[in-house]
Amino acid sequence: MDWNEILSDVEDINDPTLYEKVLIALDDIYCEDEDFMQLLISKLDTMHVTWDQPWYQTSLCLTRCTVTNYEDNEKLEKFRTTHFTNQECEQIKENWANFITEYDVPDMLQSFARWKNRDCKNPSSPHEQVRRFVTAYLAQGLERNMHQVYQYVVKHFGTPVKGNYSDVEKKLFNICFYFNEKDAVKNLSLLLGRNPRGIYKQLHQVHEGKPERKKLKWTLPLATKFLNLLMEHSQCSLEELKYKKFDKSVWLKLESDMDQQYQYLQKSWYNALHVQIFVKQDVKINRLRKKIIRILRDSPYEVWRDICWKDLTEHFPDGFTHTFLYKNFTCLLVGKTDYLKQPLPKVLDYILHKINTRRKNKRLRTLTYENGNLELISYKKNTKNQSKEE
DNA sequence: CAAATACACTGGGATTCAAA
DNA sequence: TTTGAATCCCAGTGTATTTG
């Protein structure tokens, strides 16, 4: 169904015939998915696990995580956590390609991924058996449990649409909420091919409105005020604040004291203030960036998304946070649109070129805390012995 | 009844990207 | 370059159903 055409000059979204079209589209999707599942079920008696599975792939639970990494048990090998790397994604694609050849089925991973068990709640029903077998098949060669693989497939193949909402999508959003709010999230996710989480957030905004955001101009006295309050509310000394995660209650107190949303304060703390206070040396930003490039070149990362920024902080002196590194590196990619898909070395070349062809080389501002006040440390130009940045 | 497992929903940090 | 809004997505929680 071509929604662009249907909705191109529709203003009145209350028109019931529009929702009828939505229902037809949804029904088409249901039928397509169900047909594909039926096809898989027809081959169920030939589906047997013939390969070795690590212990963590034997759990039958796909939709919620029931296995945990048993850190203490050294006999059991561990599975990977955090996001899937490029290599893992390729492995899944390869496994799927093998699957459709071996079982002679059409390439309809999306139908598999978005199918939901709506009627029969029996975990050992043929549908569920098929779902588990296919997931196990896709998990071959991966250090992941079944839940992780299934979630990955659902996310990347079931709801592949990303990015900002188009006008047509916004209209569909309004139509679905107007006619059937109860099922709107479910329906929209299916209709738009989008992750439901984003739709829930939109919904929340419809009900609660956007939070008001006030501008905050950071100055030394303001930063001092913030720091003193942070120490007071967390009952920590300055040194104890380093890399500390604070309870939400602490942030909420700060929110009311500073009259500013705590998420914003949080960001300012870890992105800037934390680094400025705890890094105790003269750092030139471009040197820092070049060091990141060197580290990434020596890493096994293949594409940008593989980068695990938290791990990078190990290579840097005390005080740096991963969000700071990320922020200072990524700002060089502004205007570059294809960096997510390009091989990492190519992206790094681009960044290096950008660093080398611009004149400014800013220093990191660092601060010292004395007698209850923050003060700026000034580094004299051309003094050697300060920078230990390799 | 407890355990296992499904779907629906939520919290909140991480990431992306366009506008200031 | 920086900022802020929007989105992405891991890791949970709540509740219903089925099995043993």
Among A116, A140, A158, the domain-final residue is A158
Give me the A residues in range 182-211 that sit within 7 A (CB) of strand B: 182, 185-186, 196-197, 200-201, 203-204
Nucleotide nearest to A289 (CA to C1'): C1
Instruction: Mark residues 284-313 of chain A whose C-beta is closer than 7 A to nucleic acid strand B.
Output: 304-305, 307-310
Average pLDDT over residues A137-150: 91
Query: Are A185 and A140 within one domain?
Result: no
Instruction: Give A73's pLDDT tier (boundaries 50, 70, 90).
Output: low
The string of DSSP codes covering A108-161 is -HHHHHH----S---TTSHHHHHHHHHHHHHTTT-S--HHHHHHHHIIIIIS--
Is the residue at A326 inside a domain?
Answer: yes
If phi > 0 it is left, if psi is from -120 to 50 it is alpha, else beta; for residue A213 that is beta
CA angle at A161 for the pair A158 and A162, rounded to the nearest 5°: 130
Q: Is the CB of A155 under 7 A from strand B?
A: no
Q: How far apart are CA A172 and CA A138, in angstroms?
A: 33
Residue-wise pLDDT tens digits, A303-339: 999 998 988 888 998 889 999 999 989 988 887 888 9
Question: Token pair 């939505």 is at which residue?
Answer: A22
Average pLDDT over all residues of chain A: 86
pTM to 2 decimals? 0.88
Q: Is the dihedral of CA A379, A381, A386, A390 positive or negative?
A: positive
- CA of A154 vs C1' of C15, distance in Å? 22
- The confidence score (pLDDT) of residue A384 equals 43
Q: Do A146 and A70 lie in a common domain? A: yes
Per-residue pLDDT band for A39 (boundaries 50, 70, 90) equals very high
Q: CB of A339 within 8 A of CB of A333?
A: yes
Q: Domain for residue A171, yes or no? A: yes
Is the CB of A165 less than 7 A from some atom of nucleic acid strand B?
no
Domain assignment present for A247? no
The yes-or-no verdict on residue A76 having pLDDT over 90 is no
* Same-domain status, A76 and A121: yes
Torsion over CA: A13, A18, A20, A23 (sign)? negative
Same domain, A294 and A352: yes
A248 touches strand B (CB under 7 A): yes
Last residue of a domain, one of A158, A183, A200: A158
A379 is a domain residue:
no
Same domain, A92 and A185: no
Boundaries of domain holding A76: 43-158
A277 found inside a domain: no
Of A8-17, A93-102, A288-297, A374-383, give the lowest mean pLDDT range: A374-383
Whether residue A317 is found in the same domain as residue A168: no
Give yes or no: residues A147 and A165 share one domain. no
Report, in ranges, which bases of strand B sit under 7 Å from a protein C-beta.
Answer: 4-19
Angle at which helices A196-208 and A167-179 cross, to 10°: 70
Report how many domains make up chain A: 3
Q: Is the pLDDT of residue A380 over 90?
A: no
Domain assignment present for A232: no
What is the model's pLDDT at position A390? 30
Q: Is residue A248 part of a domain?
A: no
Domain boundary among A121, A141, A158: A158
The C-alpha atoms of residue A5 and residue A284 are separated, in whole angstroms, by 54
Nucleotide nearest to A196 (CA to C1'): B9
pLDDT band at A388 (very low <50, low <70, confident <90, very high): very low
Residue A385 clears pLDDT 60, i.e. is over it: no
Same domain, A59 and A134: yes
What is the pLDDT at residue A83?
84
Distance A335 CA to B1 C1' (A): 60
- Separation of alpha carbons A201 and A320, rounded Å: 32
Q: Can you read off the two tokens belonging to residue A379?
A: 């580094």
